[in-house]
Chains A and B, each alone.
Chain A
Amino acid sequence: MIKNYWNKGKKQKIVTIICALVLLIALFVLRDDYQPALLFVRKFIFIILLSGIILFLGLRKFRKSTSTGGRLGILALLVVFFGILYVVGWHFKMYDYMKTYNVFNHLNRVEINELPLTQNERIQPLRNVFSMANESVGETKDVSLPHLVRIGDENKWTMAIQPTEKYVWQGMTDNTEEVFAVSSTTPFPRFSSENRIPVTFSIGESLKFSRNTYNAVVQRFNIFQLFTMEPSDTYYMKNDSGQWVQVVSLIKWKGFLFPYPTFGGVMVIDNGEHDFNDYMERILIGKGTYISPENMKNHIYLTRQNTLAEKVSRLQAESLKFLGGFSDPLPWNMETAVKIPEMPKDQNQQPYVTDFDFSDTETGAFSGLYHWFGLEPVGDERTSLSFSVFVPADGTDKMYYYNHAAKKQGYAGVSAMPLKVKESRKEYDWTANTPVEFRPYIKDIAGKKRMFFMGTVSSISDTDSKQFDGSATPDLVLIDSEYRDVVWIDVKHPSQWDKTVYDQLNEAWRSSEKIGYYFVEETKEIDIARHVIDSIKAIPQVDKKAEEIERLQKQIDSLKASKN
């Protein structure tokens, strides 16, 4: 058709060339819009090829067949084939099963026999931080989802204050002007003064067109990356020179038969206002500096950091169900099959980003941020803790897991915790309040490492299930996963938590484990009325005779020494 049109004359040729050029430019400039389609083809390449080939061969056979019965037979065969493909692959979820098995086979698994300790415990759950941040911004601003990241030696919740998505015009014209960076360990998070940092990003998650983070990152991809990479979560952190940057976690799809997602490095977007040159760069080749997983060790701020997409770590943790073999998670086996427990309402789901100290274990793992999962058996009524999974949050190609089930520890899992907390304080209005986000708290108390879950009591709005209202100093609980006892702790005094736990549980531990006393009860008196003593103006009595005697004694001693 185009050839006929081309041969008609000069005018038609010019029109054809102009149309082709416009199409080419559109294909180049709009690749951020159709990239999801390219990625879709990559993700399901095997199924698409298989279906395409079967359909092509079937239809060819159908057309060549002369008899009506033959044609009906071919149609029936095609229907049966696609029916089986759908039922086995999707209805019974065998496609996901194979994908997870692929993840399991390519995972660098390390079993650890000693739990790491937790450090720098975060007090607020993610949803509380998000609610409090939203309380601190105006009508035309949005807050991006908080992420726990390492800033220097401190863990902070960081999020951007960006133009709201409600008003399109601001999304096209305004920049992200501020970033929240709130310490995760303080009982009193503030969203003002030094925690509200003025920094300009011309590219943001809520901004429109080429200024959108997703679009800018996709435009930066090369031709191969367009087919294999997928931008994921966006983090805000300081780089090695102290400048705030946006770090976009990338997911890379690997494999042919059943492609699976892996960590694909990060794209780093610098701060600063954009001029016309930047605008052209954004439109044509996007913005950002790609750092591959292999090169991340060359950037100190990206090591021991939280940059791994949760989608990837969830699949990695879930793949541990294959520890008992390929067929073990099938419905008639299920001996070691595990699941990631889903928490009710709109709580932040696992993984919980937690700071672990591996220094006293022999694993060689770094101490810092990890994605932690507490896996439980697949049945809804089974809530024991089967595995603790530690996925390095900086994308290091390793996954550490501790097998509680094999050690027959009988610990209770995360899903068992909410009811224990409710049971421990019956006077609470549990219809309005919910204990949420049970993250691990592992401490060396009374002679051994003990595993607790730390939960925070949040009020969840009746009208908006995403609205979590936690006060700045929420109620905190620690639950001993072995003894199942709930200890209510004072959020304002983290240094006393271990002591509080010991006070409540020491008798149970001592009678059960035959251990001695720890936390010896001695009171050290500090600052008791010392100023009163100091304020008494007493003149010390001087014994002049004693001074004279001492002087003479020294003379005698020196004379005796000279004779010798």
Chain B
Amino acid sequence: MSKNKFRYILIGIFTILLILQLVNYDFSADFDWKSVLKLAAPILMIIAMVLSIKHVKSNDEN
């Protein structure tokens, strides 16, 4: 846990950011790549953090 403490904190921050972006997103508008990137960026960061935590756990390295 201590090794991954900052990763968990980052997951929390990016989750809050994702929720804010989801609330603000104009879903009634057409598909807009620039706006979608606002959603995609925190999702990709959360995925990256989860994969990173898995890697640390399985390989016991930081």
Q: 12 A-B residue contacts at CB 8 Å?
A: A36-B27, A36-B28, A37-B27, A39-B27, A43-B31, A44-B31, A47-B31, A86-B33, A90-B31, A90-B32, A90-B33, A95-B31
CB contacts (< 8 Å) of B33 on chain A: these are 86, 90
Q: How far is the CA of A95 from the CA of B22 in the complex (A)?
A: 24
Q: How far is the CA of A60 from the CA of B47 in the complex (A)?
A: 12
The residue that B27 contacts in the complex, of A40, A47, A95, with Cβ under 8 A, is A40
Judged by DSSP, the binding face of B is loop
Beta-carbon contacts of B1-35 to A below 8 Å, as 1s and 0s? 00000000000000000000010010110011100
**B39 → chain A, closest Cβ, in Å?**
10
CB contacts (< 8 Å) of B31 on chain A: these are 43-44, 47, 90, 95
CB contacts (< 8 Å) of B28 on chain A: these are 36
CB contacts (< 8 Å) of B51 on chain A: these are 63
CB contacts (< 8 Å) of A43 on chain B: these are 31
CB contacts (< 8 Å) of A36 on chain B: these are 27-28
A interface size (C-beta, 8 A): 12
CB contacts (< 8 Å) of B22 on chain A: these are 37
CB contacts (< 8 Å) of B47 on chain A: these are 59
- Top 3 A-B residue pairs of the complex, sorted by shortest distance between their CB atoms: A36-B27, A40-B27, A44-B31
Q: How far is the CA of A63 from the CA of B47 in the complex (A)?
A: 13
Closest residue of B by beta carbon distance from A47: B31
**B57 → chain A, closest Cβ, in Å?**
13
Q: How far is the CA of A95 from the CA of B32 in the complex (A)?
A: 12
**Which B residues are closer than 8 A to A by beta carbons?**
22, 25, 27-28, 31-33, 47, 51
Q: How far is the CA of A434 from the CA of B21 in the complex (A)?
A: 42
Most buried by B among A39, A40, A90, A95: A40
Beta-carbon contacts of A36-75 to B below 8 Å, as 1s and 0s? 1101100110010000000000010001000000000000
**B43 → chain A, closest Cβ, in Å?**
10
Query: Which A175-199 residues have C-beta < 8 A from chain B?
Result: none
Closest residue of B by beta carbon distance from A56: B47
**A22 → chain B, closest Cβ, in Å?**
16
**B49 → chain A, closest Cβ, in Å?**
13
Q: How far is the CA of A47 from the CA of B36 in the complex (A)?
A: 12
**A52 → chain B, closest Cβ, in Å?**
10
Q: How far is the CA of A553 from the CA of B22 in the complex (A)?
A: 108
Closest residue of B by beta carbon distance from A39: B27
Q: How far is the CA of A47 from the CA of B32 in the complex (A)?
A: 12
Closest residue of A by beta carbon distance from B31: A44
Q: How far is the CA of A63 from the CA of B51 in the complex (A)?
A: 10
Q: How far is the CA of A39 from the CA of B25 in the complex (A)?
A: 13
**A33 → chain B, closest Cβ, in Å?**
9
Q: How far is the CA of A43 from the CA of B31 in the complex (A)?
A: 9
CB contacts (< 8 Å) of B25 on chain A: these are 37
Q: How far is the CA of A63 from the CA of B25 in the complex (A)?
A: 31
Q: How far is the CA of A59 from the CA of B31 in the complex (A)?
A: 23
CB contacts (< 8 Å) of A59 on chain B: these are 47
Q: How far is the CA of A59 from the CA of B45 in the complex (A)?
A: 13
Q: How far is the CA of A37 from the CA of B25 in the complex (A)?
A: 9
**B23 → chain A, closest Cβ, in Å?**
9
**A362 → chain B, closest Cβ, in Å?**
40
**A209 → chain B, closest Cβ, in Å?**
16
Q: How far is the CA of A47 from the CA of B31 in the complex (A)?
A: 9
Q: How far is the CA of A36 from the CA of B25 in the complex (A)?
A: 10
**A285 → chain B, closest Cβ, in Å?**
23
**A257 → chain B, closest Cβ, in Å?**
14
Q: How far is the CA of A59 from the CA of B52 in the complex (A)?
A: 13
Closest residue of B by beta carbon distance from A40: B27
Closest residue of B by beta carbon distance from A63: B51
Q: How far is the CA of A40 from the CA of B31 in the complex (A)?
A: 8
Closest residue of B by beta carbon distance from A38: B27
**B50 → chain A, closest Cβ, in Å?**
11
Closest residue of B by beta carbon distance from A230: B28
In addition to A37-B22, A37-B27, A63-B51, 14 A-B residue pairs with Cβ atoms within 8 Å of each other are: A36-B27, A36-B28, A37-B25, A39-B27, A40-B27, A43-B31, A44-B31, A47-B31, A59-B47, A86-B33, A90-B31, A90-B32, A90-B33, A95-B31
